[in-house]
Amino acid sequence: SPDFLLMGNGCLFEARRLMQWCIRQAVPFANCLPLFCEDELARFGERNYRACLPHLLRRSRMVFSDNESTFALLRRLFGGECPPCTLVSNAPDVDCNQVEDWPTDDGTMRLLCMCRLTSWHKGLDLLVEVLSLSKWKTRPLFVDIYGEGEYAQTIERAIRERGIKATLNGYVPVIHRHHAGLFCSRMEGTPVVLTSYMLCHRMSIGTPVGGLPQCIVDDETGFMAESVSVEAIDAALERAW
């Protein structure tokens, strides 16, 4: 048996069997939980969480996360009976000593959206609907999308059939070509790319989920949508414009 087990939990409910094993084997453990949200509760049911997880988590030495919303949801769910919680920030994926140049001013506002190309999680279906609005088709605004995933073909079809101003560009973004980052997520931790944008002196436009509100201070470091919806994202983008 290991001396200690640090669990990287994509889903807390699915980690219950491993936590039970640790308790039976007397193996101390801690949990790393970057993404815990209302969607997970809806998927497995709050009653199931309350029935089996509080006594397991009380045996955890520590819960690590990159966002405060995870801890707030745990405290709400378990009535404050959580193990110690520690906030651990993601390391940015840029050279902190090298500031990215501002893009050449050609009259076009260029946004960078880098994420795993999944519809529900990252809200790319919402992004497609926003960019399909007539005003964003006529204004000099362009979105470069970087990433890989099953939603890529849908985005390519929307670009082709709806005439939205966006491109798919593979995986590695070039921050200096863009004025701001764009996040339409329905659930999120604290994205590495968000802190990277900030270190490159870029604002971001985002939804009020996960760690995004920790970094995006509305009208100061970016523009925060009031909710996760086409209307709210459009309104935030309008203010940024």
Dihedrals phi, psi of 157, to nearest 5 degrees: -65, -40
Question: pLDDT, tens digit, for every residue of 37-70?
Answer: 666 776 667 677 777 777 888 889 999 988 888 8
Residue type present at position 14: E
- Is residue 205 packed enough to be buried (19+ CB in 10 Å), middle (13-18) or exposed (0-12)? buried
pLDDT score for 48: 72
Q: What is the DSSP letter of 15?
A: G
pLDDT in tens, 128-139: 999 999 999 999
- What amino acid occupies position 186? R
**Tens of pLDDT, residues 72-114:** 888 877 776 677 889 988 777 776 666 667 888 889 999 999 8
What is the predicted pLDDT for the residue at 81? 64
The pLDDT-based confidence of 126 (bands split at 50, 70, 90) is very high
- Find, among 100, 138, 109, the residue nearest to 239 by Cα: 109
Dump pLDDT digits (tens) for 196-226: 888 888 999 999 998 899 899 999 999 999 9
What is the C-alpha separation between 30 and 35, in angstroms, rounded? 15
Q: How far apart are CA 101 and CA 60, in angstroms?
A: 45
pTM comes to 0.85
**Beta-carbon contacts of residue 71 (< 8 Å; ≥ 6 apart):** 63, 65, 82, 85, 87
**What values do phi and psi take at 156, rounded to 5?**
-60, -40
Residue carrying the six token digits 């939205």: 164
Quote the pLDDT of residue 189: 85
* Local confidence band at 1 (pLDDT 50, 70, 90 cut-offs): confident
Q: Measured between alpha carbons, how far is 197 from 209 in angstroms, rounded to an integer?
A: 18
d(CA 183, CA 116): 11
pLDDT, greater one: 77 or 142: 142
Whether residue 11 has pLDDT greater than 90? no
Which run of H or of E encompasses 85? strand 85-87
Task: Report whether 236 contacts 209 (CB < 8 A).
Answer: no
State the pairing for strand pair 166-168/222-224. unpaired
